[in-house]
Amino acid sequence: MRADVPVVPDEETAQRWAIEELARPEYRENSGLSLDAFWEWLAGLFDRIGGLGSSLGIPGAVVVGLIVAGALALITWLVLGPLRRARRRSAPRAVFEDDARSWVEIRDAALAAASAENWDLATMEWFRASVRLEQERGDIVDSPGVTAHEAAARIGLAEPAVTDAIAADARAFDRARYGAGGLTREHAEHAQQTCARVERRCRAGAVA
């Protein structure tokens, strides 16, 4: 809390805080709320509460200030809560999070997941295996925090023939890792086939 304002605001200060806070752009973007109607409701509420505080004198003004400050805190929580959750959902995530496995280790994990019919995990591991192959080969940069979309784009630049396939696997990876999941055997087999194509290319390059 700012040190240059009273802990318990008077009616005018509390109203000013509410207006300044709710005028910030983030309350208007991606909140899913109709703030035009809310402003009309809030103005009427301030008028009614202000009249009540004036009629009750100084103690009434303090009570009104507390009510308005509490309302502001509640409104802030109601508006920013969904906004923060939406931002967390939309935030890009890394393919490898403290994962130092080799591509062979990741491939074996993918095979084990497929044997257990865990198609979400199998798809993710096959995609990771493709990315790790390209990283170990040195055809794409092994940078921390790279997202599935970024990794797929880099692989597509290195090997245009797999651009569409690896992009589809990246979307499946994000769905399994950060979305609703529910992938099928077809998703896992597609990612496995993509990984096999990447492996053949890497081997051909090594022989050449």
**pLDDT single digits (tens) 97-112:** 778 889 999 999 999 9
pLDDT at position 122, please?
97
In a domain, 6, yes or no: no
pLDDT at position 13, please?
62
Residues 21 and 83 in one domain: yes
Q: How many domains are contained in the chain?
A: 2
pLDDT tens digit sequence for 123-149:
999 999 999 998 888 877 767 778 899
pLDDT at position 86, please?
46
pLDDT at position 172, please?
96
pLDDT band at 207 (very low <50, low <70, confident <90, very high): very low
pLDDT band at 176 (very low <50, low <70, confident <90, very high): very high
Residues 69 and 164 in one domain: no
Tokens 């923060």 found at: 84
Q: Are 133 and 201 in contact (CB under 8 A)?
A: no
pLDDT tens digit sequence for 153-175:
999 998 899 999 999 999 999 99
Residues 156 and 77 in one domain: no
In a domain, 167, yes or no: yes
Residues 70 and 109 in one domain: no
Q: What is the pTM of this model?
A: 0.56
Look up residue 179 and give its amino acid.
Answer: G
Of the residues 59, 90, 121, which one is the last residue of a structural domain?
90
pLDDT tens digit sequence for 43-75:
666 666 555 555 555 565 555 566 666 666 666
Phi, psi of 147 (to 5 degrees): -85, 170
Residues 170 and 77 in one domain: no
In a domain, 191, yes or no: yes
pLDDT at position 41, please?
62
In a domain, 154, yes or no: yes
Residues 81 and 26 in one domain: yes
Residues 77 and 114 in one domain: no
**Closest among 207, 197, 103, 203 to 159, alpha carbons compared:** 197
In a domain, 16, yes or no: yes
pLDDT at position 124, please?
95
Residues 120 and 73 in one domain: no
In a domain, 2, yes or no: no
First-to-last C-alpha distance (Å) of the chain? 66
Question: CA–CA separation, 200 vs 29, rounded Å?
Answer: 47
In a domain, 29, yes or no: yes
Of the residues 90, 115, 140, which one is the last residue of a structural domain?
90
In a domain, 3, yes or no: no
Q: Are 159 and 199 in contact (CB under 8 A)?
A: no
Residues 79 and 113 in one domain: no
pLDDT at position 186, please?
98
pLDDT band at 2 (very low <50, low <70, confident <90, very high): very low
C-alpha distances out from residue 180 to 6, 14, 120, 132, 175, Å: 47, 42, 10, 25, 6
Q: In which domain, by residue range, is 165 found?
A: 103-207
Residues 80 and 159 in one domain: no
Residues 55 and 128 in one domain: no
Q: Find the mean pLDDT for residues 23-45.
A: 57
Residues 86 and 107 in one domain: no
- pLDDT score of 78 more than 50: yes
What percentage of residues in the chain have a pLDDT greater than 90? 35
- pLDDT score of 181 more than 80: yes
